[in-house]
Structure 1
Amino acid sequence: MVPPLVLDIDGTMTRPDDSVDPRFFDVLPQWDAPVVIATGKSFPYPVSLCHFMHIEQNVIAENGGVVLSGEQVTTNGDGEAARRVAEEYVAAGHDIGWGQTDLTNRWRETEIAVARDQPLGPLEELAAEHGLEVVDTGFAYHVKSPRIEKGLGLKSLAPLLDRTPEEFAAVGDSENDVSTFGVAGESYAVANADAKAQRAADVVLEESYSEGTLSVLEDLRERA
């Protein structure tokens, strides 16, 4: 049998132009084990992706801040401290970086994401004052509680699927995937992954982005 999967989105299921590789729309609905989408994006994004892929909505969003399996939603943290950091960051003369509509944070519940072209140092200082941390996912700076991680999300979600975290094969590309790699039974970093993810993974792939992830899925299917 193929193993259950926990897959990051950005840099992992996407192509270099940030679009989701359409081949996943054929591969994942045919996967004979649970598939979990684990991302730093806010909750509606992975839920919508699952919906349009026509796979069960097993989701770890906001780096573990919101977890969904079936009808059960678990929210870890309230996001108030992160929002205070954002307010103080703006008051200090900086910008969150997403424009007036800020669709990146509009539906975010447990953290705040800041564009990577904004100053990191002041953000880290403010986050530390509120007992938070800043995680660089390669796509944004995420202000979040240190106790909330994707790996913790997988630990809470796996039993809802009658699985253990050790049964999962994980694929990712960033430091926010390190905790997932630490609890999954198998872990793969695509070639474009950052240094922290590559050090944490069991295997660093030769292929980048979606090409790397699809190659892993093919290998896992052949091995089953």
Structure 2
Amino acid sequence: MSKKVLVFTPHPDDETLGAGGFLLKKKQEGYQIIWLILTNMKKEFGWTPEQVDKRNQEIDEVSKLYPFDKVYNLELEPTGLDKYSLSELLTPINKIIKTEEPEIILLPSDNDPHSDHKIAYQVGISVSKKFRNPFIKQILEMEILSETNFGVFDSIQPNLFVDISDFFEKKVEILSKFNGEIGEHPFPRSLESIRALAILRGSQSNCKYAEAFRVIKSYE
């Protein structure tokens, strides 16, 4: 049975900003990669039909580019996860964890200033207890440009660097699909900033491009 990686995504694009190269690398290594999207644009949340259609098209295109083996979309309200009770969040996510049995879980940082990111982290930690889910081997905190770097501590204080030199250009290609989220430099989510961060993390780990993570828990 294939090993699995599950990435918690408060919003579509967080998975690629924080771990696009890592996911592509794991896919090449034979892992199944699973995308859990917590929020989505919907007309009932105030977005236009055109915006909703565009976002759903982006999700579809990105899911095929990796390609993800499974995509779950809870379609909760963006910038509104604090409106839901803990049980409303935990129940469906617990079911997904039990169904998929991921070996590696990727979470946004608890230090991110965005409330959706903080809640996603807290829920991710809650559903990944080792004594309930012995299949989990590693929990990693992602560095999500424009969020993690604007937090209280300005970084995740990484202790794991992953060489993504062979996958960086593919990561950029995938990010370009979220053209509404990518802006011109010095906008934080600019292609220049994305490349600069990958170069910085690469220089810290003796490779061309790298992604940085904080190991929250590891059982190996």
TM-score of the two chains, using structure 2 as the length reference: 0.41
TM-score of the two chains, using structure 1 as the length reference: 0.41
